[in-house]
Amino acid sequence: MQQRLEAATTPADSDLVRAARGLPVRRTPVWFMRQAGRSLPEYRALREGNEMLAACRTPDLVTEITMQPVRRHGVDGAIFFSDIVVPVHAVGVDLDIVPGRGPVVAEPFRTRADLDRLPELTPEHVPDITESVRRLVAELGPVPLIGFAGAPFTLASYLVEGGPSKNHERTKALMHGDPRLWHDLCERLARIAGAFLRVQVEAGASVVQLFDSWAGFLSRADYVTHVQPHSAAALAMVADLDVPTIHFGVGTGELLRDMGAAGADVVGVDYRTSLADAIERLEGRHAVQGNLDPALLFAPWEPLAAAVERIVAEGHAAPGHIFNLGHGVLPTTDPDVLTRVVELVHQQPVRAAR
């Protein structure tokens, strides 16, 4: 018989946090990567005339943008509005987020001398982040705030390549050509990413996610040798704070077990790997997050609803399941479809307590 749970009164007792911990839930929790952003007309109106990095460092804007999808969709978690390059920009790296392209670094990192451009990140570097998180926690009530940071490998790739890359050739050349410099660079980035996560948790975030957007470009051997230890170090920096951690990458089907072993409570699964296969690969050791293909949000409702119901059912085999997309919300997505998906997920039966 399914245990009946009273409505959550705190983020710690929310369905999202409970699912991340592998505890019984009232209903399957759902949130969407990039839910706060380009698909919402109210977001586009608010961002008019505000550059991305400036918006990420302005508490009034961060608070409103983060809250928009919670109000509109009724999602079970709010993802903090920021960008993975915010912490490295905060410690002094000269970069800009170029519309239509992404982060662009003025002087790419190529030599040992460049390490001096990456000092430790402290709360004094990001007082606005602390302020934004505190405001959001006060406004969200029992809805948990999800903090996040970019993983060391993905941050390193942006710094070494100078911006987004299709092949990551300079990154891989440095990784194999000067492994000592590579590890020293990633160690610094792990401390920055971990410190950024810690700032968010200490200000009130209830869950954190480490994004390794580009990890799927690596072989498993390269990931285990050159990347996993640094992701583990970043996650370890919040291990004493008693918040669940989520680890997500794109195209990482062959890396899921190793990503979980880096210390995550929840492993995010992108849409290229079925949730059933992911759960089998993880051997029941981790809760999972995912993994509807964002493109299916453009399909007719009948096949979309069938995919949603299948994913929720597959998630019952894991210790816990947080419904999400297998990547971010696409800019031209109809927001009303996202709201319908949330409602449908919430209507599905939850797994029986074990």
Catalytically active residues, by annotation: 34, 38, 47, 83, 158
Does 34 belong to an annotated binding site?
yes
Residue 300 corresponds to which tokens in the numbers above?
Answer: 């007719």
Kindly give the residue spans of alpha helices, DSSP state H, lying in 92-211.
Answer: 127-140, 152-161, 169-177, 179-203
Q: Residue 322: phi, psi to the nearest 5?
A: -110, 115
Annotated binding-site residue? 36: yes
Question: What is the spatial distance between Cα 317 and Cα 236, in angstroms, rounded to a whole number?
Answer: 27
CB atoms within 10 A of CB 138: 10
327 is in an annotated binding site: yes
35 marked as binding residue: yes
Q: How far apart are CA 298 and CA 344, in angstroms?
A: 16
Q: 37 a known binding residue? A: yes
Q: How far apart are CA 215 and CA 157, in angstroms?
A: 10
Tell whether residue 205 is among the known ligand binding residues. Answer: no
Round to whole Å and give the CA distance between 159 and 156: 5
At 33, give phi and psi (nearest 5°).
Answer: -60, 135
**DSSP assignment of 61-126:** HHHHHHHHHHHHH--S-EE----TTHHHHHTT--EEEETTTEEEESS---SGGGGGG-PPP-GGG-
Farthest-apart Cα atoms in the chain, separation = 62
**Would you give the DSSP letter of residue 30?**
B
Binding positions are 34-38, 83, 158, 213, 327
Binding residues for substrate: 34-38, 83, 158, 213, 327
